Structure 1
Amino acid sequence: MYRVGVIGCRGIGNRHARGAESIANAEVVAGCDLVPEQRDEFAAQFKATNPGLEMYDDYREMLEKAQLDIVTVATGDNRHADLVVAAAEAGAKGIFCEKPLATSVEDADRMVAAAESHNALLSVDHTRHWFPVWHRCQELAAAGEIGDVRAVLCEHYGTRSMLFRNGTHLLDAIMWFAGSEPAWLVAELEDGYEDYSEYRGDGGHDPATEPSANAYIHFANGVRGIYLGEKQTPNRLDFTVSGTTGSIFIEREGDAYIERDGERELVEPRPWEVEGIEAGMHELVRALDGDGELSCTGRDGLIVVEMMIACLQSQQQNNAKVALPLPR
């Protein structure tokens, strides 16, 4: 039985816990939050189905006392690093970290290093890996159903299209469909953020604290990625994968189509028992059991962090080309 502890007990942390408690060989035995009301609400929601649940206000105490096999991290975007490092050092076998992995390359580096040096599996919650329609579309692209992928375009609009908060999801998805690591990019930040040289957000709450961005990404295999983010427009998400013999279109509402020879057909994925964040938790446990690999590893998350920081650097260099990976 895997003993699971959740750090950050509101909102997404509840999703982590629901995913864990739906796994036959896992039990939520610990929750940690700085806010007493959040601890009380978490305990009220999960204590009945997880009778061994204990609540903490200090993650260090939780890691010391709870003997955890799996730790999930659902705190603000800029507060993941110390928690992941501490979990790895405390002996956690698996760590499920919210996106973005970190808001600086330095933090992301030490998180990945800690997980690897302590043989902990580190999974990053770029959730589209566990949405059936996105998963099926990526399978079709990788199988050559639209020929060789040549370009991936993402249009990401609305007040929540902040680069670090939600742009991280789509940059990860672009890389996933490209099937390669980025070699360089050129970017422009939202007007009014020209001096935004490092992350100064509030953990992902107020859209005014971080910019949206537009980026042109050249991948090592020659695929081109284009990410268009704009906070000053109505909500919209369109994702297009173009290949030598066809295209795949994914819409915000969840519908997807494949178009070949002028004919468009609906992509109908196989049903999953669980999907989204909960499916990510299931995948981590399967990987710990030796059944499969992680869809989005700590190193994948690190590359996405590098892309976001490269966007800031490109803006600071008069929208110049920035080579990846970034120098250390």
Structure 2
Amino acid sequence: MYRVGVIGCRGIGNRHAQGAASLENAEVVAGCDLVPEQRDEFAAQFKATSPELKMYDDYREMLEKAQLDIVTVATGDNRHADLVVAAAEAGAKGIFCEKPLATSVEDADRMVAAAERHNTLLSVDHTRHWMPVWHRCHELVTEGEIGDVRAVLCEHYGTRSMLFRNGTHLLDAIMWYAGSNPEWLVAELEDGYKDYSEYRGDGGHDPATEPSANAYIHFANGVRGIYLGEKQAPNRLDFTISGTTGNIFIEREGDAYIERDGERELVEPRHWEVDGIAAGVHELVRALDGDGELSCTGRDGLTVVEMMIACLQSQQQNNAKIALPLAR
């Protein structure tokens, strides 16, 4: 039985716990949050099915006392690093960390290094890997249904088009469909952020604390990625994967279509018993059991952090081409 502890118990952290609690071989035995009301609500929800559950207001105490196998981290975007490093050092076998992995390359580096040093599996919650439509579209790409991928376009509009908070999901998805690591990018931040040289956000709450971005990304296999972010346009999230023999379109409403020879068909996703965040937690547990690999590893998350920081660097250097991986 895997002993699971959750750091950050509201909202997304609650969904982490639901994913773990739905498994027969895992039990949520610890939760940590700074806010007393959040601790009380979490305990009320999970105590009946997890009689061992204990609540903490200090993650260090939880890691010391709870003897955890798995730790999930669902704090603010810029608060993940110390928690992940401490969990790995405390002996966690697996960590499920919210996206973005970190908001600086330095933090992401030390998180990945700690996980690798302690043989800890580190999974990053870029949730589209476990969403049936997005997953099925990736299967079609890898099966060659649109030939060789040549370009991936993402249009991400609306007030929550924030580079770190939500752009991380889409940059990860672009890389996933491209099937390669980025070699360089050129980027421009939204107006008013020309001096935004490092993350100055509030953990993902106020859109004004971080910019949207537009980026052109060249991948090692020759695929081109284009990410368009705009806060002052109506909400929209559309994805286009273009190959040598066809295109796949993923729409904000959740439908997807494959287009070949002028004919467009609806993409029918496979049935998943569990999807989204819960499926990501389940995947981590299966990987710990030796059944399969992680869809989005710590190193994948690190690469996405590098892309986001490269966007800031490109803006600072008059929209210059920034080589990836970033120099250390």
| Structure 2 length-normalised TM | 1.00
In structure 1, the residue matched to 2:279 is 279
Cα distance between partner residues in 2 of 1:85 and 1:220: 30
Provide the residue aligned with 1:83 in structure 2. 83
Q: What secondary structure does 1:101 align onto?
A: coil
Alpha-carbon displacement from aligned partner over 1:138-166 (angstroms, at most 9, x marks no partner): 11011110000000000000111100000
Deviation sequence 1:284-312 (CA, Å, 0-9, x none) = 00000000000000000000000000000
Q: Give the whole-Å Cα distance in 1 for the aligned partners of 2:36 and 2:127.
A: 28
CA deviation digits over 1:160-211, x for unaligned, max 9?
1100000000000000000000000000001000000000000000000000
Sequence identity percentage = 91
CA distance in 1, matches of 2:316, 2:143: 39
Following the alignment from structure 1 to structure 2, what is the Cα–Cα distance between the partners of residues 237 and 175? 16
Once the two structures are TM-superposed, the CA of residue 110 in structure 1 deviates from its matched residue by 0.2
1:149-228 mapped onto 2 (5 Å cutoff): 149-228=149-228
Cα deviations by residue, 1:85-144 (Å, 9 ceiling, x for unpaired): 000000000000000000000000000000000000000000000001000001101111
In the alignment, the residues of structure 2 paired with residue 151 and residue 138 of structure 1 have an alpha-carbon distance, to the nearest angstrom, of 14
Task: Give the SS at the match of 2:226.
Answer: strand
- CA shift for structure 1 position 49: 1.2
Q: Output the CA distance in 2 between the equivalents of 1:144 and 1:183.
A: 23
What is the Cα-based RMSD across aligned positions, in Å? 0.4
Aligned to 2:51: 51
Aligned mates of 1:24, 1:248 — CA distance in 2: 37
Partner Cα separation in structure 1 for residue 237 and residue 36 of structure 2: 37
CA shift, 1:14, in A, is: 0.3
Instruction: Please state how far the C-alpha of 1:222 moved relative to its aligned partner.
Output: 0.2
Deviates more, 1:48-57 or 1:167-176: 48-57
> Which whole-Å CA distance do the structure 2 matches of 1:47 and 1:252 have between them?
37
Q: For structure 2, list consecutive stretches of 5 or more residues without a partner in the other structure.
A: none
* SS class of match (1:269): coil
SS at match of 1:40: helix
**Residues 204-232 of structure 1: per-residue CA shift (max 9 Å, x gap):** 00000000000000000000000000111
Report deviation, 1:269: 1.0
Match of 1:67 in 2: 67
Aligned-partner Cα distance in 1 for 2:14–2:46: 9
1:256-288 per-residue CA deviation (whole Å, 9 max, x = no partner) reads: 000000000000011100000000000000000
Query: Distance between the aligned counterparts of 2:289 and 2:86, measured in 1?
Result: 23
List per-residue Cα deviations over 1:51-109 (Å, max 9, x = no partner). Answer: 11000000000000000000000000000000000000000000000000000000000
- Secondary structure at the residue paired with 1:296? coil
| CA offsets 1:25-44 (integer angstroms, 9 cap, x no match) | 00000000011111011111
Q: List, as ranges, runs of 4+ consecutive aligned residues in structure 1 with deviation greater than 2 Å.
A: none
Name the SS for the 1:6 alignment partner: strand
**Aligned equivalent of 2:23:** 23
Give, in angstroms, the shift of residue 234 of structure 1: 1.2
Tell me which moved more, 120-129 or 38-47.
Answer: 38-47
2: distance between equivalents of 1:159 and 1:54?
Answer: 38
Q: Distance in 2 between matches of 1:183 and 1:258?
A: 28
Whole-Å separation in 1 of the counterparts to 2:23 and 2:226: 38
- Secondary structure at the counterpart of residue 188 of structure 2: strand
Give distance in 1, aligned partners of 2:43 and 2:219: 46
SS at match of 2:153: strand
How many residues end up aligned between the 2 structures? 328
The Cα of 1:18 is off from its aligned counterpart by 0.2
TM-score by length of structure 1 reads 1.00
Deviation at 1:233, TM superposition (A): 1.2
The corresponding residue for 2:297 is 297
CA distance in 1, matches of 2:80, 2:103: 9
Question: Distance between the aligned counterparts of 1:149 and 1:305, measured in 2?
Answer: 23
